[in-house]
A and B are shown apart, each in its own frame.
Chain A
Amino acid sequence: MNAPSITTSSARSPAVPTRFDLAAALKDSAKSALIAFGLSIPIVAYRTDQSGADLFLNPRWDMVAIFCAIVFGLRLAQHAFMASRAAREAVPSPTQATELVHAEPSAFQKASRFGIPFFLGVALAFPILIYLIQGGLNESRYWVDLGILILTYVMLGWGLNIVVGLAGLLDLGYVAFYAVGAYSYALLSTTFGLSFWICLPLAGILAAFWGIVLGFPVLRLRGDYLAIVTLAFGEIIRLVLINWVDLTNGGAGISSIPRATFFGIPFTAGEGGFADTFGLEFNGMHRMIFLYYLILALALLTNFVTMRLRKLPVGRAWEALREDEIACRSLGINTTNTKLTAFAIGAMFGGFAGSFFAVRQGFISPESFNFLESAIILAIVVMGGMGSQIGVAIAAIVLVGGPEVLRNLTFLQAVFGSGFDPNEYRLLLFGAGMVAMMVWRPRGLISERQPSVILKERKAISGSLVKEGHG
């Protein structure tokens, strides 16, 4: 366990016994359970509850027992898994030596040829499908709303992916640009009465401007310092939004933000409204479905721009910068400008998403833009595989949609008691998932690198073959 291994990441030594040693595994699992027991005292064992001014403790040793049992089971399963893998690897397969050279398209890539049109089709037809399944506009409200929420995160994930995935700059304050976009729309529309369609590009421009202003001084810094400074900027913007009451109305937020219109036609019940103009019966869901397609279009725009930019010199420079900053500098790439464009373009899409958020909610407050939001977006990008567009979309669906679906499964409530709310555990799982991802698949779920320049045929490059350098 404490072998002095510096460079090898796992403690697999060549002398791994091929037979599963049950006694040793049990002993080690018991040790892990003991550590878990130590960790859960007193934080799990006693819950502090308040009655009046006094705190009293509520013992919950049953929880500790469950916790230790879970750790014991997991550790034992891990041992069994490691042993079986070691046994498999003890006999080298005949193709093993040539595996990496003949990079056959992986199973994922084969699937993705059909997967991407499939996903796109489902996304486009989603409101109609839900309408048919639920059998009515009003019944499908919840699902369309969830779709909008997921697509917002897909768009944010794709926007951040430009900064983190392509340029390799860890941005912990991405939510600041989301906030700039949201407040730009809210303030411009409530004070000057500008419409959503004028404010949307303005919000993007303002967010990009802030990206440049904040990025310019800090982009010389190395990777982890840059991350911390962006975090600081994100927090500064949030604190200013809270405290500058004259401009932003402080923590109370801005309410009654004008709704989106169908290119000038409002979604209202009366004369000249959307339903009236198109001869439909008025329904509030028209606006929701419009919003759904609006965010879908914005998200696809983000994706499209990113994919095109990757093929431009600046996009290639981003990816080169991610792999090795020093090599880039010696090849004459202006690293500051390259980073700045990535930062500004990422910020611009954050601004678009922010103004969409404001128009959808009709109400914004600084609490929507805290660090946790940045962390969730980052988790989506990290788990999707940094740089992979479809991976980010899948991660957003799983991470944002997953807890919502779990909440609606009634049998879970029967198992865990009626007060069970998976959302409570959502962030817990996000955190654990980020760690697990870094330990097992540091390149994300989908780690293939897609080369942007190809000779004759497209070959998959495993992410593990690419060494990421400094910065």
Chain B
Amino acid sequence: MEIFVQQLINGLTLGSIYGLIAIGYTMVFGIIGMVNFAHGDVFMLSAFIALIFFVILTTWLGISSVVLALFIVLLIAMALTSLWGWTVERIAYRPLRGSFRLAPLISAIGVSIFLSNFVQVAQGARNKPTPPMVGEVIVLFQGESGYNVALSYKQIIIMVSTAVLLSIFWYIVQKTSLGRAQRACEQDRKMAALLGINVDRTISLTFVIGAALAAVAGTMYLLYYGVVSFSDGFVPGVKAFTAAVLGGIGSLPGAVLGGLIIGLIETFWSAYFSIEYKDVAAFSILAIVLIFMPSGILGRPEVEKV
């Protein structure tokens, strides 16, 4: 029972990170119908940006309050990662509108390889550990066998900031004119353009929002694991994509739901079955969902038009 509650907490934390990344996949797929393969690497890049600014703030500028430092780091990482997201879309995806169907995916694979190796060349191939951050835990209750169920401050920070940012983002998509333009482009790009929506700008902003949320996930990932390396984008990226597909690609609540489910499956699988095969489990779920349930939990079934 104690293990179950503990794994539930861990799984929800991990799941909220996956959910944040999955939104980037699902929005881009919704609006231009491509799998943004490079999104996982944008996430990794943001973790590096966060790491470097965290070191700058704590050691050079001497900010002693970790929470304040984290908040500033989060804002800077979001801004700079958004710039990366915008540039990637501008250089690698925008010229390909109207090209053959697999072209954007191949281009995205190229961007993914480029980004991870760019970080490797610029930052070195070794794992980069962070200085220790927020180590305190709250012991929720103590089991009979002395197993403490603990909720760490880290996990609280991760879940709270995920929830806050998701609601801000939800507000943007549902209530602002940008969100309306975005949903219009999702439904019919040509019609939206005829009605005076700047489609290219809307698509760029979609990438910017996706990258900003990936930056939140990157910062949280860094806070949670305390270590990042140039190859860390691939597996979380695939898992987040799995989450997006599981929740129904194109659906925003679906992405968050899928992220939480994937996070829970991963932690429970590690706890009760085998930790070695946890990635195999995630990849198998991806294959199974795509084969048997391609429209996901909350997605609309796709209609193929000739």
B190-224 to A contact mask, C-beta < 8 Å, 1/0: 10010001111100000000000000000000000
Q: Which residues of A contact B126 (CB under 8 A)?
A: 50
How far apart are A470's CB and chain B's nearest CB, in angstroms? 7
Q: Is B272 an interface residue (CB 8 A)?
A: no
How far apart are B191's CB and chain A's nearest CB, in angstroms? 11
**Cα distance A220–B294 when bound, in Å?**
11
Report whether B107 and A48 are in contact in the complex, using a CB–CB cutoff of 8 Å.
no
Which chain A residues in 421-445 approach chain B with CB under 8 Å? Answer: 424-425, 427-428, 430-435, 437-439, 442
Q: Is B168 an interface residue (CB 8 A)?
A: no
Report whether A43 and B45 are in contact in the complex, using a CB–CB cutoff of 8 Å.
yes
Question: Given contacts A10-B95, A431-B115, are A35 and B87 in contact (CB under 8 A)?
Answer: yes
Q: Is A49 an interface residue (CB 8 A)?
A: yes
Q: Which of A44, A425, A433, A442 has the most CB of B within 10 A?
A: A442
Q: Which residues of B contact A431 (CB under 8 A)?
A: 110-115, 117
Q: Which residues of B contact A424 (CB under 8 A)?
A: 120-121
Report whether A44 and B83 are in contact in the complex, using a CB–CB cutoff of 8 Å.
no
Report whether B124 and A47 are in contact in the complex, using a CB–CB cutoff of 8 Å.
yes
The tally of residues in A whose CB lies under 8 Å from a CB in B reads 74
Q: Which residues of B contact A379 (CB under 8 A)?
A: 110, 113
How far apart are A336's CB and chain B's nearest CB, in angstroms? 13
Which chain A residues in 395-443 approach chain B with CB under 8 Å? Answer: 424-425, 427-428, 430-435, 437-439, 442
Q: Which residues of B contact A442 (CB under 8 A)?
A: 96, 99-100, 103
Q: Which residues of A contact B56 (CB under 8 A)?
A: 42, 46, 57
A1-32 to B contact mask, C-beta < 8 Å, 1/0: 01111111110000000000000000000000
The tally of residues in B whose CB lies under 8 Å from a CB in A reads 75
**Cα distance A236–B284 when bound, in Å?**
8
Q: Is A240 an interface residue (CB 8 A)?
A: yes
Knowing that A48-B48, A224-B101, A432-B114 touch, tell me 7 more A-B residue pairs with CB under 8 angstroms: A43-B119, A50-B126, A227-B105, A236-B283, A243-B276, A435-B111, A442-B99
Q: Which residue of A5, A38, A56, A225 contacts B290 across the interface (Cβ within 8 Å)?
A: A225
**Cα distance A38–B87 when bound, in Å?**
11
**Cα distance A57–B123 when bound, in Å?**
10
Q: Which residues of A contact B106 (CB under 8 A)?
A: 170, 378, 382, 434, 438
Report whether A9 and B129 are in contact in the complex, using a CB–CB cutoff of 8 Å.
no
How far apart are B188's CB and chain A's nearest CB, in angstroms? 11
- A426's nearest neighbour on chain B, judged by CB, is B117
Q: Which of B102, B198, B199, B280 has the most CB of A within 10 A?
A: B102
Question: Given contacts A9-B99, A218-B291, A442-B96, are A428 and B286 in contact (CB under 8 A)?
Answer: no
**Cα distance A326–B304 when bound, in Å?**
10
Q: Which residues of A contact B98 (CB under 8 A)?
A: 6-9
Q: Which residues of B contact A428 (CB under 8 A)?
A: 113-114, 117-118, 121
**Cα distance A465–B31 when bound, in Å?**
27
Which chain B residues in 30-66 approach chain A with CB under 8 Å? Answer: 34-35, 45, 48-49, 51-53, 55-56, 59-60
Which chain A residues in 374-399 approach chain B with CB under 8 Å? Answer: 375, 378-379, 382
Q: Which residue of A47, A53, A233, A239 contacts B123 across the interface (Cβ within 8 Å)?
A: A47
Question: Given contacts A9-B99, A438-B107, are A55 and B119 in contact (CB under 8 A)?
Answer: no
- B60's nearest neighbour on chain A, judged by CB, is A57
Q: Is A223 an interface residue (CB 8 A)?
A: yes
Report whether A432 and B277 are in contact in the complex, using a CB–CB cutoff of 8 Å.
no
Q: Is A41 an interface residue (CB 8 A)?
A: yes
Report whether A229 and B286 are in contact in the complex, using a CB–CB cutoff of 8 Å.
yes
Q: Which residues of B contact A44 (CB under 8 A)?
A: 122
Report whether B119 and A3 are in contact in the complex, using a CB–CB cutoff of 8 Å.
no
Q: Is B80 an interface residue (CB 8 A)?
A: yes
**Cα distance A172–B241 when bound, in Å?**
15
Report whether A231 and B92 are in contact in the complex, using a CB–CB cutoff of 8 Å.
no
Q: Is B131 an interface residue (CB 8 A)?
A: yes
Q: Is B238 an interface residue (CB 8 A)?
A: yes
Report whether A223 and B122 are in contact in the complex, using a CB–CB cutoff of 8 Å.
no
Q: Which residues of B contact A2 (CB under 8 A)?
A: 198, 200-201
Q: Is B128 an interface residue (CB 8 A)?
A: yes
Q: Is A116 an interface residue (CB 8 A)?
A: no
How far apart are B184's CB and chain A's nearest CB, in angstroms? 13
Report whether A218 and B122 are in contact in the complex, using a CB–CB cutoff of 8 Å.
no
Report whether B103 and A434 are in contact in the complex, using a CB–CB cutoff of 8 Å.
no
Q: Is A371 an interface residue (CB 8 A)?
A: yes
Report whether B107 and A435 are in contact in the complex, using a CB–CB cutoff of 8 Å.
yes
Q: Is A312 an interface residue (CB 8 A)?
A: no
